[in-house]
Structure 1
Amino acid sequence: MNSQNQKNEINRRRFLQSGVKLAAAGIYLGMFGMPNLFGNVIMDKGAANIPDVKLNNGVKMPMLGFGTYGLRGEVCQQSVADAISVGYRLIDTAKVYGNEEAVGKAIKQSGIDRKQLFVTSKLWVDDAGYENAKKGFEETLTKLGLEYLDLYLIHRPRGDVKGSWKAMEELYAAGKIRAIGISNFDSEQLADLLSYAQVKPVVNQIETHAYFQQGNSYNLLKKHNVQMEAWAPFAEGRNGLFTDEVFAQIAKKYNKTIAQVNLRWHYQRGIVAIPRSSQKAHIVENLNIFDFKLNHEDISAIEKLDLNKTQFPEWS
């Protein structure tokens, strides 16, 4: 961990309540501004009582999940196992992360019924095209040790997207994938996909956080009933997010952490978020966002933080 990341972690912990509450203590679910922006949010009886959103094909997806970007090997396996043990049911991975095998081992280690999990992976650019996409998907299933995926995404709109989507539609029709979607598609790329897709994507997983709120994509995805999902919901601490005075004041008001305020903000926008951490205390902390509600003043203050530009130019 570099010095900047260490600083981010230290400042995040500054607002962490002494004696982290177990995520399952969020017993007030459903009482605090349940979003209905992209679909019907449904209460589930999962270990952490994380609400689900109903996707445009009827499949239910947890509103809060666990991301694995940057986690490898034993650290990844333990982090995913910890996440499942405290109540996460949505687990997000990708071929290019190089950790599908570790994620699969963690799922097996958890001993949980496969049907209780919502597992997402992604097709990388190298596997674009009809035949390659089918092979890439089978490799992903093998590495994960699963018989099906809950959600499979085209990771980036590169190469033969049309061929990839056709392959994914066939895998979906065959029951190998419960839902198919996209990641990092802009408005024009989404429009192009919709022009030939026989199956509408259920999700677009994109960069969105307080400093890049993606208003245009937000409205467009709502219009097409495609669920918006945030990768890097904390912007990986960039632009000083974990020391931002606006978030610090809101966090203090609710006796919450800056991380929790950020995740609550995503939730109240109706956006699925997949925070990542290798620290169990933070994994638990990130679940405890359902017993408070940001008010209009809070939302307005956060809206003013929007820089309307990516914080990850190297990924553009």
Structure 2
Amino acid sequence: MFQVWGKWVTQIDVHQGIRPETAIAKLKPSGICATVEGALVMQLLASVFLPTYPDPPGPKVVSNAVAAARWLSAALDVAVVNVDIPDVSNALSRLLLDLPTKIREVEAASRQRGKTLLDAVAAEASRCSVTLTSQELQAQPALMGEAAAKEGRYFDLCMIGWAPNNEASQMIAEEVVFSSGRPTLILPGDEDVGPLDHVVIAWDGSRVAARAVADAKPFLERASAISIITVTDEKVLPREDVADRLAHVLRARGLTAKVESFMPATIRSARHFRSTPLRSAAICWLWADGATLASGTLCSAEPQKAFCRICACRS
């Protein structure tokens, strides 16, 4: 053990079957910065964005974000996105509607929802022993997604809730996916997500698909099951065995992967895939609690277990 920049540093010899983060976690309470085989192990930094206007995210987004951070051994930053409504009133609207007062009331309600969300995240993170930081962003209604996307560029992973009837979360989710440049984990807002231990890779051998797989690396390392799916008779694939080739590469890294092929009509019959809030992003689906794809079909109904999506945009 030796001292560098005022911190005690030690090198850990990680034996087969012991994860580096497990060994490092044991040293953290002592304030030790640990390296594995001479290389610094960087902690994953995740950020969850919680819009407060016009409605807060689903009730389960907070607990799901903390659970995902804990599953990944990541530090979590929570950013509430409060609304800043520009005053475009004139003399008549001020006289008849008292518009400035209504704007102040809406903004105050947004900030109060943000404070409630921050308190909820802090309590959940403390319960789960997840390192937490927090911040408050402020943006006009049409720019809330842009504000979140710009802040997301400073983290390894972005997280955002998704609800079919919450336009604010939908807008922010799509903006973060396509403008942050970071992988985005989209969380359900009305059901709990357990360990994200089944990774389903939609694979066509393209550059964006490769990026999505690379972005899913922390999940792949922890997965108990990996399914690689390809859609046949939809477009020309770069080679016939694209899925088998990826499975081979993953197995060479010590991961267990299986290959599934589906027809386009089967894909369209799945309600949860139709609801995917994306225009054209490469995507990996992550199922919790060991839920798996049915053999020969792509789940014609909703899966029994909660699932998330991790997305990588084309840019």
- TM-score clears 0.5: no
Larger helix percent: 1
TM-score of the aligned structures, taking structure 1 as reference length: 0.29
TM-score of the aligned structures, taking structure 2 as reference length: 0.29
Question: Greater Rg, structure 1 or structure 2?
Answer: 2
- Higher normalized contact order (CA 8 Å, seq sep 6+, divided by chain length): 1
Larger strand percent: 2
